[in-house]
Amino acid sequence: MNSLNSNQSTTPQKTLSIDYSTTLEDNFHGIQEIFILDAKSFLPKFLIAFLSIWLFSEITEINLFYTNNRVEVYSIQNPNAIAIDNATKYATFETKKKNFMVKKHLLISEYLIKNGIPTTAQLSEKEATSLNIELNDLFIQYLIKNNPDMSETEKEFFTDSKFNIVLNALNEQWENHIPFSILIAKTISSTNYGKENSGNNLFSIKNDKGNLKYYDSSADSFDDFSNQLISKIEYANLFVGGKNYVHWANQINTYDCNEKDYAVFQSSCGQILINIISELNLDLLDY
């Protein structure tokens, strides 16, 4: 017991000493240096991974070799990449639609303010044509060329200067108050995107003998179709009831559809017009 006490008394006491001369700032710099080193090693890997994901989602065919002035293409068929690509296209198109609507409203407002009028119906013919040319360009740029559901042949129908259907429909809408969407949908259903067009007759209008009419220009075809609707008392209520394309389509279905011509679609021609308008967002230019 005594020996134990003596050993305890002779054992030197160990004390914990902290050097406070190393400040928090020094420690922080050390941590900062470690963080910078980690970031330097991490960022390149992260960027490479990010770019790889983007590349494979956007590009389904990559040129791996170039030999003897000939490109050998190796396809990468990645279902996930294709799904991502499709989702990106549709998301991009939805953004295009929103951008189109903003630009359309700004453009129309600009013309109204410049001319000091409350409605586009009060524009002069010159100003209305100028507005419609700009709307034509916006519509084709945002809603036709970027539409992932349309084939190149279908897009060409909208951009072909021979038909000029967007501008013709806009001008008829301003002059005769027939919805743009109805006019365009009718040309599509009547000619199958211009493939079955004959004699600039975009509405399959027939003469008194039951034969298809011929026109000098597609604009003349638009004029004749509009005049036929205007001259029929059955459509009078539509011209004062706004531009509800569903009402117009149903009325056309009742009075002007030859159901034999639409039997192949297994649907009424009025419903076909509604479907076309909905699928192609044609009502966005009903104003």
Return the percentage of the chain with pLDDT > 90, whole number.
53
* pLDDT band per the 50, 70, 90 thresholds, residue 268: confident
pTM for this predicted structure: 0.68
Strand ranges in 68-147 using DSSP code E only, listed in sequence order = 70-75
pLDDT in tens, 87-142: 666 678 899 999 999 999 999 999 999 999 999 999 999 999 999 999 999 999 99
* pLDDT band per the 50, 70, 90 thresholds, residue 255: confident
How many whole angstroms separate alpha carbon 223 and alpha carbon 198? 16
Find out whether 111 and 127 touch, Cβ atoms under 8 Å.
Answer: yes
Q: What is the pLDDT of residue 47?
A: 47
How many whole angstroms separate alpha carbon 251 and alpha carbon 253? 5
pLDDT at 284 over 50: yes
Query: Cβ neighbours of residue 279 under 8 Å, at least 6 residues apart?
Result: 149
How far is CA 81 from each of CA 8, 56, 77, 224, rounded to the nearest angstrom? 75, 6, 8, 49
Tokens representing 6 are 């003596």
* Number of C-beta neighbours around residue 214 at 10 A: 13
* Number of C-beta neighbours around residue 113 at 10 A: 9
The two most distant CA atoms of the chain are separated, in Å, by: 137
Q: What is the pLDDT of residue 84?
A: 57
pLDDT at 266 over 80: no
> What value does the mean pLDDT take over residues 276-287?
95
How many whole angstroms separate alpha carbon 82 and alpha carbon 229? 46
Tokens representing 233 are 């008392």
pLDDT in tens, 195-249: 999 899 999 999 999 899 999 999 999 999 999 999 999 899 898 877 899 999 9
Q: What domains lie within the chain, and their CATH numbers?
A: 28-77 (no CATH), 79-285 (1.10.530.10)
Residue 180, judged by CB atoms within 10 A of its CB (0-12, 13-18, 19+), counts as buried
Provide long-range contacts, Cβ within 8 A and 24+ apart, for 134-141.
134/107, 135/104, 135/107, 135/170, 135/285, 136/166, 136/167, 136/170, 138/100, 138/103, 138/104, 138/107, 139/100, 139/166, 139/284, 139/285, 140/166
